[in-house]
Amino acid sequence: MKALTWQGKRDVRVEEVPDPRIEAPTDAIVKITSTAICGSDLHLYEVLGPYLKPGDVLGHEPMGIVEEVGSEVTGLKPGDRVVVPFNIACGRCWMCSRQLYAQCETTQVTSEGKGASLFGYTSLYGSVPGGQAEYLRVPQAHFGPIKIPESGADERYLYLSDILPTAWQAVTYADTPPGGTLAVFGLGPVGQFCARIGRHLGAGRVIGLDLVPERLELARRHGIEVLDVRELSDVAGALIDLVDGRGPDAVIDAVGMEAHGSPVGKLAHAAVGLLPDKVAQTMTDRAGIDRLSVLHAAVKGVRRGGTVSVSGVYGGEADPMPLMEMFDRGVQLRMGQCHVRRWTDEILPLLSGDDDPLGVEDLRTHRLPLSRAPQAYEMFQKKEDGCIKVVLEP
């Protein structure tokens, strides 16, 4: 089959790889009909190369049609249409029984000290072949895949794989009081959904912050108040001034370690990319190479006693946080990999009607064949041609 493979920094290629096959009785094989490029895939394209090897298959936002199931998969049959969550969970272990599916103890990568295995996401998370391919082997298929209606465009349901439940969790963690104010840093795909979900779940005011004109315009189209951070010298101060001199009740960081505006962080990312893999792994894991400008602005901009919810991906363990200010201002901080299946039963009914309350059909800017995935990655990474979200068609 054809699949998108990682070959080096900013070097991804569509190649012929072996077809997947059933390897365990809880496996399924899914023929992929749509698969998206996620913002966190750009970390593989740019930063996390030390944890990849040439030939690794990328992608963790897939959906398609079940082709084959293992003997212990009773809830699926060939022909079923499914979305595949990006994290791989058994649904049975101690963590899963508490709906902490991103920490599944059956698929945890204990050798790396990490949580549940992920599709297409480095040796840190199990080196499981990803879904930017014609076919995908789905472990733990007795629990993971989400059955969806046979009718309706793929893009009605595709985002259940990652970014829609990720945004739903971020908004839930933010815990904005009814009628309160929510600010969302970063209006990429997850941030767009955070803003829309925030309104849907009862925030009286939602403010989105970004510096990309197309992203700001897309948020405006959905009734979101926007701030262009290029026009602000003090982002946190502007938020406080804008919301009663106190700041918003809750702030979501939907940016993570790809934040603009931190030249030191950018230099560190570039430097790590030049090091031998073993040295780079140590620096990435221990030294902390993140750009924390957005997270610090979120902490400083939220009102006293407010909540900061982090959905953007961070890496590294030595990142300085303004703990004195967080303590003094009573800021609550919630974060974590999304527990996809915890939220999908709540979200799915919103996707099945005609009204599209979350605007899932107004996010994708580019739909391209899988063969053009390398060009799509470059375009997405450089934010060219108004690119906000890319969907690939194998």
List per-residue pLDDT tens for the chain, 394 residues long.
999 999 999 999 999 999 999 999 999 999 999 999 999 999 899 878 889 999 999 999 999 999 999 999 999 999 999 999 999 999 999 999 999 999 999 999 999 999 999 999 999 999 999 999 999 999 999 999 999 999 999 999 999 999 999 999 999 999 999 999 999 999 999 999 999 999 999 999 999 999 999 999 999 999 999 999 999 999 999 999 999 999 999 999 999 876 444 444 443 444 444 445 554 454 444 444 457 889 999 999 999 999 999 998 887 666 678 899 999 999 999 999 999 999 999 999 999 988 999 999 999 999 999 999 999 999 999 999 999 999 999 9
Q: What is the DSSP letter of 286?
A: I
Closest CA to 248 of 336, 197, 177: 177
How many CB atoms are located within 10 Å of the residue 353 CB? 9
Architecture of domain 164-335: 3-Layer(aba) Sandwich (3.40)
Residue 44, CA distances (Å) to 244, 258, 263 in order: 41, 12, 20
Q: How far apart are CA 307 and CA 250, in angstroms?
A: 5
Any idea of the CA torsion for 380, 382, 386, 388, to the nearest 10 degrees? 40
Tokens 């527990």 — which residue?
339
**165 φ, ψ (degrees, to nearest 5):** -65, -30
CATH class of 2-162+339-392: alpha beta
Closest CA to 119 of 56, 74, 168: 56
Q: Please, what sign has the CA dihedral across residues 10, 254, 108, 20?
A: negative
Strand order in the sheet with 332-335: 225-228, 205-210, 181-185, 250-253, 307-310, 332-335
Q: Are 2-162+339-392 and 164-335 equal in CATH topology? A: no
The verdict on pTM exceeding 0.85 is: yes
**215 φ, ψ (degrees, to nearest 5):** -70, -40
Indicate the domain borders of the chain: 2-162+339-392, 164-335
Closest CA to 87 of 113, 64, 119, 112: 119
Gyration radius of the chain over CA positions: 20
Query: In this structure, are residues 33 and 154 in contact, taking their beta carbons and an 8 Å threshold?
Result: yes
Q: How far apart are CA 303 and CA 327, in angstroms?
A: 13
What residues pair up with 30 in beta bridges, in sequence order? 66, 136
Residue 237, CA distances (Å) to 199, 233, 246, 300, 335 in order: 23, 9, 10, 8, 23
Query: In this structure, are residues 43 and 257 in contact, taking their beta carbons and an 8 Å threshold?
Result: yes
